[in-house]
Homo-oligomer: A and B are copies of this chain.
């Protein structure tokens, strides 16, 4: 199993990438890595090159680059060359901490989508109250427009993923909607509900409202990319503002409050832990011929390590091929 790594993506590249990859390399003996990036930079942090190959690249896609344009014009960028190696069969999966939009473009235009999948979808893991496994939500923004059939495909792929990687026997799949009753929503979501209800092989539990995304009521939440993007960002934005306010209240209200803050700090760590989903790895771009995974730009080496674990689980379980076979069977039956 060979993983192509864009070593130059992310805020702390290539250091955290190299550190995380080395830890993962030591753990899983059947993994090989190819790191695409500046060789001198990578070698600064690389302790030993066992099962790690470096491919020198001279260009780099920045966070500010326009995604599709960057993929097309920066042909020697680390992300582009890593993606090409997957397309060419040299590697089995693509991993980057870089520009999300560019990785989506590299996934779709270079790695390529599964023939029967209409639109690939982006799926992160969000924290869930009372569950360390978190909840997977897709699509959160790879597509601005959606059709009921897309949502059905995403439900199938999300369910296979939750089974293989999160080891959930019959993942609970829910549809993000504006009410829990079956007849809620606009035309898209009403039709998607009916389609999901009749989809074989998934455990569809009905509609879920976005107030319950973090409540642990579902393992996989299916949504169109526009609504999913809004719900994800509202969740992240609210958590960020609240935690910021909390920190401010505890630390900027005089020495007495600060002392109290020191006392409660260990207990607040448990709370922070719920919102730490780094053990779940990165966001997966599902619907492509190979696993393409994006970890957060601010990810540390621990997250890089867990993202490799996530890719390992997808490769070892042949997760992509299972979806592939499901859709082949589905289209043969039509």
Contact = CB atoms under 8 A, between A and B. Distances in A.
A240 interface: yes
Interface string A244-260: 01101110010011011
Contacts of A189: 144, 226
B226 A185 contact: yes
Could you tell me the dominant secondary structure of chain A's interface residues?
Answer: helix
A120 to B, nearest CB: 16
A236 B264 contact: no
25 contacts: A129-B245, A141-B178, A144-B178, A144-B184, A209-B237, A210-B230, A210-B233, A211-B236, A214-B237, A215-B237, A227-B230, A235-B238, A238-B239, A242-B271, A245-B274, A246-B268, A246-B271, A248-B271, A249-B271, A250-B267, A253-B270, A256-B263, A257-B263, A260-B262, A260-B263
A126 B240 CA distance: 16
A169 B245 CA distance: 28
Contacts of A253: 264, 266-267, 270
Nearest to A187: B145
A211 B250 CA distance: 23
Given A210-B233, A259-B263, A260-B260, 14 more contacts: A144-B178, A176-B230, A212-B237, A215-B241, A238-B239, A242-B271, A245-B274, A246-B246, A249-B264, A249-B267, A250-B264, A257-B263, A257-B264, A261-B264
A192 interface: no
A211 B140 CA distance: 13
Contacts of A185: 144, 226
Interface residues of A, number: 56
Contacts of A205: none
A17 to B, nearest CB: 26
Given A231-B231, A270-B249, A240 B211 contact: yes
A210 B187 contact: no
Contacts of A229: 178, 210
A176 B237 CA distance: 14
Contacts of A262: 260
A141 B179 CA distance: 10
A234 interface: yes
Nearest to A186: B144
A4 to B, nearest CB: 28
Contacts of A129: 241, 245
A195 interface: no
A238 B242 CA distance: 9
A233 B264 CA distance: 29
Contact of A213 (B237, B243, B249, B250): B237
B186 A214 contact: no
Contact of A178 (B184, B210, B226, B246): B226
A98 to B, nearest CB: 18
Nearest to A188: B226
Contacts of A233: 209-211
A227 to B, nearest CB: 5
Contacts of A239: 238, 242
